[in-house]
A and B are shown apart, each in its own frame.
Chain A
């Protein structure tokens, strides 16, 4: 069964520092992978997605993620954190055998950005 593991429920960085949020997936077939962001009291918003094209995916707000099949990873990065990046981030996976519509989410990582 497909699943994702997000290491670290909380990540703290200083403004201007590199952001690295980790995601590892488990899938029996080539997956589609996603990163979503959730701001307080709001729904989730798509940051970026990997759908078997380029392994380095660029998203909104300066975020990017690299699909590494050998490591079964899809880590999210941003070179320089802004205060506005403070939110909860979710990695998700979907598979062809579920029609790609069924997303399985990780437990989330809360990003804290300090001045």
Chain B
């Protein structure tokens, strides 16, 4: 299995531009998570989906951020308009919770390093 795939790996954009980050979870996984990692705030959960449905988006910083999961194999995190304070590494993770169990390991992608100038 290729693992969780994220694209692009690096993104540099100017303030005010729209940014779209992409994630392909591991095939068969039913949970998908978006995290943001910064030096100041550490690793924060932004939103997570179960069977393509958003379950908890309380970590999404503001309306400029949106996430979608149109199908089981693809998710996007969009920032519009982007601001310099959005500069961070954004991770996608996926997991599969077997029937009768409470949780299973989250597998992380390599991350997208976003720089907003």
Contacts and interface: CB of A to CB of B under 8 A. Distances in A.
A96 B110 CA distance: 28
Interface of B: 4, 31, 42-45, 48, 50, 55-56, 91, 93, 95, 97, 102-103, 105-106, 108-111
A42 B56 CA distance: 25
A78 B5 CA distance: 31
29 contacts: A41-B110, A41-B111, A42-B110, A42-B111, A43-B111, A44-B43, A44-B93, A44-B106, A44-B108, A46-B106, A94-B103, A96-B102, A98-B56, A99-B102, A100-B102, A100-B103, A101-B31, A101-B48, A101-B55, A101-B95, A101-B97, A101-B103, A102-B45, A103-B45, A103-B106, A104-B45, A105-B42, A105-B43, A106-B42
Given A43-B91, A46-B105, A101-B48, A107 B111 contact: no
A106 B43 CA distance: 8
Nearest to B97: A101
A15 B92 CA distance: 33
Contact of B42 (A32, A49, A94, A108): A108
Contacts of A51: 102-103
A99 B102 CA distance: 7
A46 B104 CA distance: 11
Nearest to A52: B102
Contacts, number: 52
Contacts of B108: 43-45
9 A-B pairs with least C-beta separation: A43-B108, A100-B103, A105-B43, A44-B108, A107-B42, A100-B102, A46-B105, A43-B109, A43-B110
Contacts of B106: 44, 46, 103
A102 B35 CA distance: 11
